[in-house]
Structure 1
Amino acid sequence: MTLRVLVPTAQFAQAIQSPGIEAIVWHINDSLADAPAADVLVTERPREFERRARVASIPGLRHVHLLSIGSDWILAHMPAGVTLSNSRGAVEDATAEHGVALILAALRELPTAAIQQRRHDWVPLWTSSVHGSVVLILGYGGVGKELFLRLEPFRPAALVPVASRARVLDNGLQIHGTAELPDLLPHADVVVVTLPHDRSTAHLVDANFLARMKDGALLVNIGRGPVVDTEALLAELSSGRLRAALDVTDPEPLSADHPLWDAPGCLITPHMAGNTAEFIRLATELTVEQLRRISQGEAPLHLVDVV
């Protein structure tokens, strides 16, 4: 029996093509035609919101494999009986690396230096740094753990991991619970959000959360846009009290006239934290393994609960 697999690029099609597997290039966001019948959909998150529902109309679909960790966008569109897996293990390093880049760029005022370069304006800047700062990491899953490891060598004053429940790891590391946030936030120079979006995290970073952050603190979001209340963040940025570095936003993509683009003290990258060549290599290897398992009747790795 041939396994028909929809993939987003010709590169993926070439990588997975093997006896018993028919690769069909179909991009959920960019392909104009409706999806042909297929057993498996391998997909990234569509840029356009209305394209998400296309998952529900693929004839014969049995499994969806996501080229990401986050699955919030697809859950409402999963047909009954179709299983779902993600690319856990392939994207955490790239996302954490981008998180470090955003933190460093914002703290060391690289956007301002870039503007000065375009003006041919030599004005040395005095900046803040990770060194000596208190960095709170909100979310201690795969990305949060990798970010923690990458920030340690910069010698922050403290790295404060926060998760849904407090606990002490076997290595002695104290993980704080979200209930402790009111006491922790006033001491943080940098707050990094790595959380997924679900009912428990939607607008967790709201006006009250932001108000507890210290003056001049930096909010970094490499998790999901809806975790942060955009209007509340805009109010803090407009006042100049807080700064932000965002790889994800709400809404997403931002319209050309959205005020977040021009908010003072805000650095934005277009949801690109995982977009590296190394991620493509790792995600391709994982996809090949997933298809091998499905074709041989085995359970795919990294299954996601779709209920």
Structure 2
Amino acid sequence: MTTDVWLPFPADEIEGLPGASDAGLNYRYWDGGPEFPADPADCVFYAVPYMKGTEIAVRPLPGMTSLSVVQTLTAGIDHVEPGLKFLAPGVRLCNARGVHEASTAELALTLILASLRNIPGFVEGQRKEEWRSGFYPALADKSVLIVGYGSIGSAIEDRLAPFECARVARVARSARATERGPVHPLADLLSLLPEADVVVVSTPLTDTSRGLVNAAFLARMKDGALLVNVARGPVVDTKALLAELESGRITAALDVTDPEPLPAGHPLWHAPGVLISPHVGGSTSAFLPRAKRLLAAQLTRYAAGEPLDNLVLTTQ
């Protein structure tokens, strides 16, 4: 019977893991290095290395013939989807819901405030010893549209609550009701865009969302609006965004880009009205404790034969 569990952290650094001898599990540490820690055929539970890219995430999957669970440490699963074709039917894919909400929502709010209040301009002014006083936009009284209202989108709205926004509208794949108000379906998106001063994109990368923020989407945004992307780079059509930025009609704050990492010399680096952070929405001090708690909880359920949390799909 195969009982190997591949973890991206040493097992002795994860508090609350089921005891290896009691649970009958063999913990193997692999964080994406060139050598596998053991035969992939013996792995039953694979916790994917964090932020190592698709090539590393998928590399062991063809040999994992006994696999039962793939656990990502990201909210999105796009980096492992290319490897699902190698897996036998019945493998459960779980994501990291609950790990990244606080950090990503915190960064979304940071990008909004920094962009509206012209923090990059003040940093430049300090460097040049220039006193750049004046009136600048505030988040107060602005209308915000959140595109992608899952757990991260909801956490973003949590953090908007004290800022006296005039309105927060929500869009997801399908309509539903929440305590805060309605969530609109994607079909309503184009009609909602002209009303928003700030548009925050927090949707997963799927076939539906790839290129969602295209020329038609951007054209519907009001003059002077701010686009914030904390989702995935390919959700936004970079060429279409550059055209709007260079016209000066809208501004943008991007934690993710397409391509990524953004190469030196790319025009997006120096486009007017853009603030770029290097995909750090989830990679903060809040990540490790939450990721380790998730792994301990999931493996405790797995060892007990209980249903797993955060199940995204089961291979067919």
Aligned length: 303
The TM-score, its normalising length taken from structure 2, stands at 0.88
CA apart distance, 1:52: 3.9
**1:54-100 CA-partner distances (Å, limit 9, x unpaired):** 14234443321111111122112022233211111222122111111
**Partner of residue 14, structure 1:** 13
Which of residues 61, 77, 81 is equivalent to 1:71?
77
Partners of 1:112 and 1:106 in 2: CA distance: 9
> Does structure 2 conserve the Cα–Cα contact (< 8 Å) formed by 1:36 and 1:58?
no
Partners of 2:2 and 2:229 in 1: CA distance: 42
Unaligned runs of 5+ in 2: none
Match of 2:160, SS state, is helix
Q: Which has the higher contact order (CA 8 A, sep 6+)?
A: 2
**Partner of residue 36, structure 1:** 38
Identity %: 42
Match of 2:122, SS state, is helix
> Does structure 1 conserve the Cα–Cα contact (< 8 Å) formed by 2:29 and 2:37?
no
CA apart distance, 1:306: 4.8
> Does structure 1 conserve the Cα–Cα contact (< 8 Å) formed by 2:54 and 2:80?
no
CA apart distance, 1:233: 0.6
Note the 1:263-274 alignment, pairs <5 A: 263-274=271-282
Note the 1:1-307 alignment, pairs <5 A: 3-10=3-10, 13-15=12-14, 16=17, 18-20=19-21, 21-28=25-32, 31-34=33-36, 36-37=38-39, 38-59=43-64, 60-78=66-84, 79-81=87-89, 82-169=91-178, 171=179, 173-307=181-315
Partners of 2:260 and 2:57 in 1: CA distance: 13
CA 1:123–1:150: 2 relative to 1, 3 Å: same
Unaligned runs of 5+ in 1: none
Q: CA RMSD in A?
A: 2.2
> Does structure 2 conserve the Cα–Cα contact (< 8 Å) formed by 1:13 and 1:24?
no
CA 1:294–1:168: 2 relative to 1, 3 Å: closer
The TM-score, its normalising length taken from structure 1, stands at 0.90
> Does structure 1 conserve the Cα–Cα contact (< 8 Å) formed by 2:18 and 2:299?
no
Aligned-partner residue type, residue 306 of structure 2: E
CA 1:172–1:243: 2 relative to 1, 3 Å: closer
Q: Return structure 1 stretches of 4+ with deviation > 6 angstroms.
A: none
Partners of 2:268 and 2:251 in 1: CA distance: 12
CA 1:135–1:96: 2 relative to 1, 3 Å: same
Aligned-partner residue type, residue 193 of structure 1: V
Partners of 2:45 and 2:175 in 1: CA distance: 39
**1:233-256 CA-partner distances (Å, limit 9, x unpaired):** 111112221111111222222222
CA 1:128–1:298: 2 relative to 1, 3 Å: same
Match of 1:148, SS state, is helix
**1:203-243 CA-partner distances (Å, limit 9, x unpaired):** 11110010111111100011122211111111111222111
Match of 2:111, SS state, is helix
CA apart distance, 1:273: 0.9
